[in-house]
Amino acid sequence: MGDDVRVWQEHESPFEVVSAILKSRGITSGNIGFESSVRYFVVTGIANALPNMNIVPAEPVTLGCRMYKTAAELTLMHKANEVTLRAYEYVFSQLKEGMSQADVKGLMNAAQRKLGGSGTWCLALFNDASAYPHGTNAKQTIKQGSVVLLDSGCSVHGYQSDISRTFVFGQPSQQVQDVWATVREGQNVAFAAAKVGAPAGQVDDAVRAYYVAKGFDKDYALPGLSHRTGHGIGMEGHESVNFVRGETTPLNKGMCFSNEPGLYIPGKFGVRLEDCLYMRESGPRYFTEPPESLAKPLGKLIPLKV
């Protein structure tokens, strides 16, 4: 079996080595599948080295492997979510007036690393910057009444977490309380719609119908929900399939998603609450249970049941 390992030197073409491996096995035509994360120069290099091979998408194979998580994979994702939630508990206790976004991001990333997470990341948005789901270059600091929106995660042995929390430093306005409660109920609506066998897009549809009843736009306009209700997650932070309009893939055991139906009001603030769930034969179950209220904004880890 030693000849199954082939090496190449810097002055050689790795694509010619791949070509030689296939030819040694009598493979000179047919299909070669590439999944979407493969860099373009690799695809073109292989195509040039093997002109008689057809380049085809590998997603019919890889999606079946990646979309449905095993018990071992779910255990690692559960641990990653535990790391992130414990870090949130620490950071929430450390918030102080005058802190910058960099201060809070540094605390969150350091806490996750200390708890065993790797590849840590954190988005910290304060005040009116929280109305931009993916951030802004504006510098913000915490002051009395600040909305503090954090979106953070890490990796444990290659499997990802993704949790968002929205706090208020000091006394929240009535509008913030109302929007926070609406988003929290939006999570409930999404969770209830995530039924085994239902198309994934139905989850997004249900949330938008609820938000319309609360006076927000049914589409992506602001103020409202300007992004999908959730995304697939596993070895990457964003994977197929998504809770998004028009997605027809049926929900099934082993699939994992974020549940994050945020609401954003430009010029004022935004609220995002995000917890990841996994599908069981009986329906969805959270890795982390969403927070109880704005007064108790952390939520809790719940036991894994696969």
CB atoms within 10 A of CB 214: 13
Segment holding 101, helix H or strand E: helix 101-114
Domain ranges of the chain: 2-65, 69-301
Mean pLDDT of the chain, nearest integer = 95
User: 180-229, pLDDT tens digit by residue?
Assistant: 999 999 999 999 999 999 999 999 999 999 999 999 998 999 999 999 99
140, 176 Cβ separation under 8 angstroms: no
Q: pLDDT above 90 covers what percent of the chain?
A: 91
Higher pLDDT, 5 or 285: 285
Vertex 55, ends 52 and 60: CA angle to 5°?
Answer: 135
Secondary structure class of 29 (helix, strand, coil)? coil
Q: What is the pLDDT of residue 2?
A: 47
290, 275 Cβ separation under 8 angstroms: yes
Kindly state the average pLDDT of the residues 224-251.
97
In this structure, the strands spanning 275-280 and 283-286 are antiparallel
Q: What is the pLDDT of residue 40?
A: 96
The first and second tokens of residue 153, run together, are 């995660």
User: 38-82, pLDDT tens digit by residue?
Assistant: 999 999 999 999 999 999 999 989 988 899 999 999 999 999 999
Q: What is the pLDDT of residue 3?
A: 59
pLDDT exceeds 50 at position 22: yes
CB atoms within 10 A of CB 41: 9
Q: What is the pLDDT of residue 6?
A: 86
Tell me the HSE value of 235 on the side-chain side, using a 13 A CA sphere: 12
Kindly state the average pLDDT of the residues 143-155.
98
Q: State the fold for domain 2-65.
A: Creatine Amidinohydrolase; Chain A, domain 1 (3.40.350)
Q: For the domain 69-301, what is the CATH superfamily, name and number?
A: Creatinase/methionine aminopeptidase superfamily (3.90.230.10)
Tell me the HSE value of 71 on the side-chain side, using a 13 A CA sphere: 3
pLDDT exceeds 90 at position 135: no
**Does the predicted model carry a pTM greater than 0.95?**
no
As a whole number of angstroms, the distance between CA 283 and CA 191 comes to 9
Tell me, yes or no, if the two domains 2-65 and 69-301 fold the same way: no
Beta bridge partners of 123: 151
User: 256-299, pLDDT tens digit by residue?
Assistant: 999 999 999 999 999 999 999 999 999 999 999 999 999 999 99
Kindly state the average pLDDT of the residues 221-249.
96
As a whole number of angstroms, the distance between CA 254 and CA 76 comes to 13
As a whole number of angstroms, the distance between CA 189 and CA 261 comes to 10
Name the pLDDT band for 4 (thresholds 50, 70, 90): confident
pLDDT exceeds 70 at position 1: no
